[in-house]
Amino acid sequence: MPKASVSKLSNGMRVASEPCAGDTVTVGVWVDTGSRYETEENNGVAHFLEHMFFKGTKNRTQSALEMEIENMGGHLNAYTSREQTVFFARVFKQDMGKALEILADILQNSNFDPDYIDREKSTILREMQEVEGQVEEVVFDRLHETAYRGTSLGRTILGPVENINAMNREMIKDYVDTHYTANRMVVVGAGAIDHDELVKLADKNFGSVAPESKGKSPTFEKAVYTGSEIRMRYDDMPEAHIAYALPIGGWTDPDTFPFLVMQNMIGNWDEHIPGGQFSRIPLIQKSADLRMAKKISAFCTQYSDTGLFGVYAVAEPMALDDLMYNVQGTITDLAYDTDETLLEQAKKSLIIQTLSMMDGSTQICEELGRQMLSYGRRMHPVETVARIQAVDSAAIKAAASKYLYDQCHALAAIGPTHEMKDYVQMAEALTVSTAKTTPFPGPFHEK
């Protein structure tokens, strides 16, 4: 497998590339910023800014920008997460220079026209309504809200309605000047690419970006986890949607790979997938055989300094008591007993997922960009596979004992939740099932 190459421009901006077969190239800019770097007053500005970058620059109108990409047969996209904002284009290899110039133009020369800002507010408010109609999205937003309550990591990416309505050019410009600096940006390329050429193009187009913010420093609140819950009871809904989680370490934590393996050990399933009753995974087997849940999905969500490991489930109200007892037991059992066959199956599944990220320039580019911001380097797939293969039952038990055993959980639930035990009852049931006698600390509640 080819290796990634990394260079640094004179202003401190990093340039990373990784070749792969084909005639296309994906180039992009990964920025170390997102909703976590916002304040309560400007929450939503990072996502709003992502929209405004495509509304015209000093050199191109919005329609000219769209036409230029279309004429190249290219694809231009962007997204904002809690810790990263990404802009990338996929084009034919001969158009790499043009694509990078367009990215540089929108990131450095956007107009941020007040009229466009006012128009975009209605677009983002409609997007918010669409998100609110997706219960799974809402559940995970509420999970972050309760687990990281009172901190920036607990806020939504889109921000509240009042912030969107109050957005103006000054707020956007201030955010750009503070966060879009060379020390927080990485130019990334993958595909039919020459690294030296990419470095020259990056220097030409991004060499004048300020090395760091000349004004105030970027806001970054420390993540403070709080064992707590939010329940939004709607008895007219046919099923309850639940996200149950416990706190773990961030991306660079030594136990990251054991948790990724554990995620695959718990697995993913829904009622439309046949054969669930024959699964080797106990939680899935019981969910299918006893109609305990309609969907089970383990998750491992990590950030720079913290993370959440848990299970998202959808179930009818009368099954919630049994479901949550089994979810808690499944997670806690990882600290006691490891099914070696299931462990090996989970490792193979994770290795396949890892290797699938090498399938195409866009997947490689996204993984390379994410790792440059998360790890500060490219973790080669060979190293990743070796780290997965090194996970054994002892590593699983050690990580689970450290992070999952006898911990205050975070829970978000939406729907007919009346059959669920309350927070303390759930914690006590888990304590009894694991023969623990340590008093459980009082949680926060929100209903």
Q: pLDDT at position 358, please?
A: 87
Per-residue CA distances from 33 to 47, 49, 293, 405 (Å): 10, 11, 37, 33
Instruction: Kindly report, residue by residue over 80-90, the tens digit of the pLDDT.
Output: 999 999 999 99
Q: pLDDT at position 445, please?
A: 42
Q: 276-283, long-range: CB within 8 Å, 24+ apart, which pairs?
A: 280/339, 280/341, 280/342, 280/345, 281/342, 282/326, 282/330, 283/311, 283/326, 283/327, 283/330
Instruction: Kindly report, residue by residue over 324-339, the tens digit of the pLDDT.
Output: 999 999 999 999 989 9
Q: pLDDT at position 428, please?
A: 79
Per-residue CA distances from 238 to 1, 64, 130, 141, 206 (Å): 49, 48, 20, 21, 53
For residue 376, the tally of other CB atoms under 10 A from its CB is 11
- In the residue annotation, 50 being an active-site residue is answered as yes
Q: pLDDT at position 432, please?
A: 54
Catalytic choice (18, 38, 83, 120): 120
User: Which H/E stretch holds residue 444?
Assistant: strand 444-446
CA dihedral 162, 168, 174, 179 (to 10 degrees): 60
Phi, psi dihedral angles at 17 (to 5 degrees): -145, 155
Q: Give the whole-angstrom CA distance, residue 303 versus residue 301.
A: 7
| Percentage of the residues of the chain whose pLDDT score is greater than 90 | 87
For residue 397, pLDDT over 50 is answered with yes
The three-class DSSP label of residue 322 is helix
Instruction: Kindly report, residue by residue over 281-315, the tens digit of the pLDDT.
Output: 999 999 999 999 999 999 999 999 999 999 999 99
- For helices 114-132 and 45-52, what crossing angle results, to 10°? 120
Instruction: Kindly report, residue by residue over 114-130, the tens digit of the pLDDT.
Output: 999 999 999 999 999 99
Q: pLDDT at position 219, please?
A: 84
Identity of the amino acid at 78: A
For residue 18, pLDDT over 90 is answered with yes
Catalytic choice (18, 50, 145, 229): 50
What residue ranges in 9-140 does DSSP mark as E strands?
A: 14-19, 24-31, 75-80, 85-92
DSSP string, 411-428: EEEEE--TTS--HHHHHH
| Percentage of the residues of the chain whose pLDDT score is greater than 70 | 96
Residue 443: pLDDT band (50, 70, 90) is very low
Nearest to 286 by CA among 338, 330, 342, 337: 330
Q: Give the whole-angstrom CA distance, residue 260 versus residue 199.
A: 34
Contacts of residue 77, defined as CB under 8 A and 6 or more positions apart, other chains included, come to 87, 88, 89
Nearest to 103 by CA among 138, 78, 84, 132: 78
Instruction: Kindly report, residue by residue over 103-161, the tens digit of the pLDDT.
Output: 999 999 999 999 999 999 999 999 999 999 999 999 999 999 999 999 999 999 999 99
| Lowest mean pLDDT, pick from 90-94, 308-312, 370-374, 430-434 | 430-434
Nearest to 43 by CA among 211, 167, 197, 215: 167
Nearest to 219 by CA among 11, 14, 34: 34
Q: Give the whole-angstrom CA distance, residue 159 versus residue 166.
A: 11
On whether the CB atoms of residues 405 and 332 are closer than 8 A, the answer is yes
Q: Give the whole-angstrom CA distance, residue 62 versus residue 223.
A: 38
The b/e string for 137-162 (b: 16+ C-beta within 10 A; e otherwise) is ebbbbbbbbbbbbebbbbbbbbbeee
For residue 437, pLDDT over 60 is answered with no
- The 3-state secondary structure of 193-257, one letter per residue: CCHHHHHHHHHHHHCCCCCCCCCCCCCCCCCCCCCEEEEEECCCCCCEEEEEEEEECCCCCCCHH
On whether the CB atoms of residues 396 and 338 are closer than 8 A, the answer is yes
Averaged pLDDT, 188-195:
96
- The strand pair at 228-233 and 410-415 is best described as parallel
Q: Give the whole-angstrom CA distance, residue 240 versus residue 442.
A: 25
On whether the CB atoms of residues 134 and 14 are closer than 8 A, the answer is no
Residue 430: pLDDT band (50, 70, 90) is low
Identity of the amino acid at 293: A
Residue 439: pLDDT band (50, 70, 90) is very low
Q: Write down the mean pLDDT value for the chain.
A: 93
User: Which H/E stretch holds residue 269?
Assistant: strand 268-270
For residue 444, pLDDT over 70 is answered with no
Q: pLDDT at position 431, please?
A: 61
